[in-house]
Structure 1
Amino acid sequence: MADEKPDFEVPVGLFEDFEDLKAQVARLTAQLQTLTEGAGEEADEASADDVTAGAEEADRGDAPEDEWQYPPFILLLDPPQYDDELRALTEWVEGVLVPGYLAEPSSDARWCHLWFEHPVAVARLHALWLAWQELTDPASCGYTGPSVWHRDHLDPSMRELRGSSGPFAGCTKGEHQIDHRIPGLVPSAWRQNDA
């Protein structure tokens, strides 16, 4: 009788939670290893050339190849980087989002086929795309990432974009309008005027 194992079922969600935890532990272990390797080196062991080269690299905005860089927010980019990012965003919107998630536009669920001419829509869709890139990679977020993306990113974004007061409020099936209320001159922390 001591060799008998208890008969119980393990919920499927428990396996998904376990896979998420494994991915998080792997990510944290890699971060800890990177931090401890950097802390193990003595500051006085670094040569003056290394310090100078690192400062020049930081001034240029370059990062070592193995260091992950945050993606830029599209509204902060200038051409040609903006154009490249918009082109990549358009491929995702037209190739994934529109055919997979958007039903026929209506008065309750608006959509403009010229969405890329609406800066608010570009900003929201870009943020949605960045989240999609991160949350559909099981190595970085486990297997529940897509569910989180739907719940926390897709659904709220679509409510804001397609709602009657969203950026497509002036657009109907046959017409496109970007002449929404836009303030004249607004001080911005994003752009600095050349003095």
Structure 2
Amino acid sequence: MPDNQEPSEDLPGFEVPVALFQDLEDLKAQVAALTAQVQRLTETDSGQDAAEDGDAAVGDQDGDEAAEEDEWQYPPFILLLDSPQYDDELRALIEWVEGVLVPGYLAEPSADARWCHLWFEHPVAVARLHACWLAWQELTDPATCGYTGPSVWHRDHLDPCLNQLRGSTGPFAGCTKGEHQIGHRLPGIVPSAWSQPDG
């Protein structure tokens, strides 16, 4: 407190060192200088910032549209793909069907449960099995499916797919009679697509 002032009744009765007042005044001056500098910089760059913001907004829209296109294209509907994407997708599908589906879920073919060892030559079968495989990838991934994923896959994807494919009016109906237009026959056992069937 300056020496010529009497302490107020409202203020506590202690003395503040003069150096503290000087530090406070220095801080006020620095804040005022920084504020003035910020104002000068924002006034100078405001036109440039507006142009950059406009460019950034256009860039963001382009990025959003590209992201929407990517999202729209995934997952691929296999029958709409061209080579080599179709060939790559079909090769991966064959591995899954022959490695998981055939040994795990297909019993001996019969009149009530048809199967064609050349299923990949039937576009309807390829489309349905591909959709079932995409669902399997999602619903067996612990990060996306939770505990009920496998049950949902069996109920909502596998069972309806096999009912459609193996039914009497499904795409393999002609293969059981030996009269299919591309010479399919009913195999004695379900062979692998990677090896030649006996006979």
User: Which of 72, 80, 83 lines up with 2:84 in the alignment?
Assistant: 80
Check conservation: 1:136, 1:146, Cα contact below 8 A: yes
Distance 2:52 2:150 in 1: 44
Distance 1:45 1:133 in 2: 46
Q: Which has the bigger relative contact order, CA under 8 A and spacing at least 6?
A: 1
Deviation at 1:46, TM superposition (A): 7.4
Secondary structure of the residue aligned to 2:104 is: helix
The 1:45/1:103 distance shift into structure 2, 3 A limit, reads farther
Identity %: 77
Deviation at 1:175, TM superposition (A): 6.6
| Structure whose CA Rg is larger | 2
More helix by share: 2
Distance 2:51 2:117 in 1: 59
What is the match of residue 95 of structure 2? 91
Check conservation: 1:131, 1:149, Cα contact below 8 A: yes
For structure 2, list consecutive stretches of 5 or more residues without a partner in the other structure.
Answer: 1-49, 184-199
Does the alignment pair 1:126 with 2:130? yes
Distance 1:83 1:57 in 2: 30
Tell me the TM-score normalised to structure 1 length: 0.59
User: Which of 93, 111, 115 lines up with 1:111 in the alignment?
Assistant: 115
Secondary structure of the residue aligned to 1:47 is: helix
1:28-177 alignment, distance < 5 Å: 47-57=53-63, 61=66, 70-172=74-176, 176-177=180-181
The 1:156/1:64 distance shift into structure 2, 3 A limit, reads closer
Distance 1:135 1:90 in 2: 19
What is the match of residue 4 of structure 1? none
Deviation at 1:45, TM superposition (A): 10
Check conservation: 1:110, 1:163, Cα contact below 8 A: yes
For structure 1, list consecutive stretches of 5 or more residues without a partner in the other structure.
Answer: 1-43, 180-195
Distance 1:123 1:64 in 2: 22
Paired positions, count: 134
Deviation at 1:157, TM superposition (A): 0.8
Deviation at 1:171, TM superposition (A): 0.3
Check conservation: 1:128, 1:154, Cα contact below 8 A: yes
The 1:176/1:94 distance shift into structure 2, 3 A limit, reads farther
Deviation at 1:81, TM superposition (A): 1.2
Task: For residues 24-68 of structure 1, give each alpha carbon's deviation from its aligned partner in whole angstroms, at most 9, with x where no partner exists.
Answer: xxxxxxxxxxxxxxxxxxxx8973333343455566x46799x89
CA RMSD of aligned residues (A): 3.2
Distance 1:45 1:136 in 2: 48
Check conservation: 1:118, 1:178, Cα contact below 8 A: no
Distance 2:179 2:118 in 1: 10
